[in-house]
């Protein structure tokens, strides 16, 4: 006969009916209600939230600054967008652009009248002092035009004095000489190589003025940029040729508008393709 302790109930686990149950994990004494205490709260792999203020948490980038502008360039050049941008920027500052273009036209006419003509074929590459002066002045005026367009792309309305704010002049001269010599040699070699060199070098001045690159680096940068965007820039060249023909048809007067637009269009393409959106 089985003997039970006082109270008449067998201890838990001594009853044959409890065999095989084993320890169920509830060894804690139960509360008077007869239910075991609830298990402690679980948070998985995450620690409980810290007490105190819930301010901005680390690991998240700050919200983007309001507005558009720089740093939001797509890197894709669209000729229609470029023409609209160039036209709008021209209209905003047209007296300065027309005035500066008029100065370029007068200088070129004077130099053309002073240049000797009627050379024989053997004298094609012979340069007179006037020719050299004309080449230098034309190059400088071209740099100044690009300088003004770069200021415009920065969101400024350049005055006449700002066109003359040329930086890195030594490397502008070296780059122009190197590109000019290479293009001339290429033109002698059945013309096509010269056109290719001129096409690849179209942004050399932009890199020297805008990024203060030396002549060799600027030429390499231009070649690399153009080589990666041949299709879009061929369309740019065809557009510029079309605008130039329009200027010729208008007896040259159209260039007072067309030349600034062509220059700003090239700057728009350069800035867009180098992932720096021109100011709107």
pLDDT per residue as tens digits for the range 78-95: 999 999 999 999 999 999
Residue 131 pLDDT greater than 60, yes or no: yes
- Structural domain tally of the chain? 1
pLDDT per residue over 198-250, tens digit each? 999 999 999 999 999 999 999 999 999 999 999 999 999 999 999 999 999 99
pLDDT per residue over 257-279, tens digit each? 999 999 999 999 999 999 999 99
pLDDT the model gives residue 104: 94
- 255 within some domain: yes
- 156 within some domain: yes
Q: Which two tokens stand for residue 12?
A: 């838990």
pLDDT the model gives residue 72: 38
pLDDT the model gives residue 116: 65
Residue 158 pLDDT greater than 60, yes or no: yes
pLDDT the model gives residue 261: 97
Which of residues 62 and 197 earns the better pLDDT score? 197
- 130 within some domain: yes
Q: What is the pTM of this model?
A: 0.71
Domain span including residue 188: 79-115+125-273
Write down the residue that tokens 């894709």 correspond to.
76
Task: Report the C-alpha gap between 258 and 49 in whole angstroms.
Answer: 65
Residue 47 pLDDT greater than 90, yes or no: no
- 200 within some domain: yes
Residue 118 pLDDT greater than 70, yes or no: no
CB atoms within 10 A of CB 224: 12
Using only C-alpha atoms, the chain has a radius of gyration, in whole angstroms, of 39
DSSP 8-state assignment for residue 20: T
CB atoms within 10 A of CB 128: 13
- 100 within some domain: yes
Closest to 97 measured CA to CA, from 160, 16, 47: 160
Task: Report the C-alpha gap between 56 and 59 in whole angstroms.
Answer: 9
3-state secondary structure of 252: coil
pLDDT the model gives residue 120: 54
- 55 within some domain: no
Q: Which two tokens stand for residue 9?
A: 């109930």
């Amino acid at each position: 006969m089985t003997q039970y302790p006082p109270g008449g109930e067998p201890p838990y686990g001594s009853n044959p009916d409890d065999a095989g149950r084993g320890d169920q994990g509830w060894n804690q004494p139960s509360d008077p209600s007869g239910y075991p205490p609830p298990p402690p709260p679980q948070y998985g792999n995450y620690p409980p939230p810290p007490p105190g203020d819930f301010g901005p948490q680390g690991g998240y980038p700050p919200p983007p600054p309001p507005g558009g502008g720089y740093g939001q360039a797509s890197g894709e050049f669209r000729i229609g967008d470029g023409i609209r941008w160039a036209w709008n920027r021209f209209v905003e500052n047209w007296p300065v652009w027309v005035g500066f273009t008029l100065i370029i036209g007068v200088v070129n006419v004077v130099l053309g009248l002073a240049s000797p003509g009627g050379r024989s074929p053997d004298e094609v590459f012979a340069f007179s002092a006037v020719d050299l002066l004309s080449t230098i002045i034309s190059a400088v005026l071209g740099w100044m035009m690009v300088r003004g367009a770069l200021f415009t792309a920065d969101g400024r309305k350049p005055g006449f004095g700002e066109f003359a704010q040329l930086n890195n002049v030594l490397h502008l001269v070296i780059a122009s000489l190197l590109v000019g010599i290479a293009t001339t040699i290429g033109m002698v070699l059945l013309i096509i190589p010269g056109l290719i060199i001129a096409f690849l070098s179209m942004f050399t001045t932009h890199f020297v003025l805008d990024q203060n690159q030396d002549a060799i680096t600027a030429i390499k940068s231009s070649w690399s940029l153009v080589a990666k965007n041949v299709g879009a820039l061929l369309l740019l060249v065809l557009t510029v040729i079309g605008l130039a023909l329009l200027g010729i048809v208008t007896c040259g007067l159209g260039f007072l508008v067309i030349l600034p637009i062509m220059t700003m269009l090239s700057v728009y393409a350069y800035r867009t393709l180098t992932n720096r959106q021109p100011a709107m």
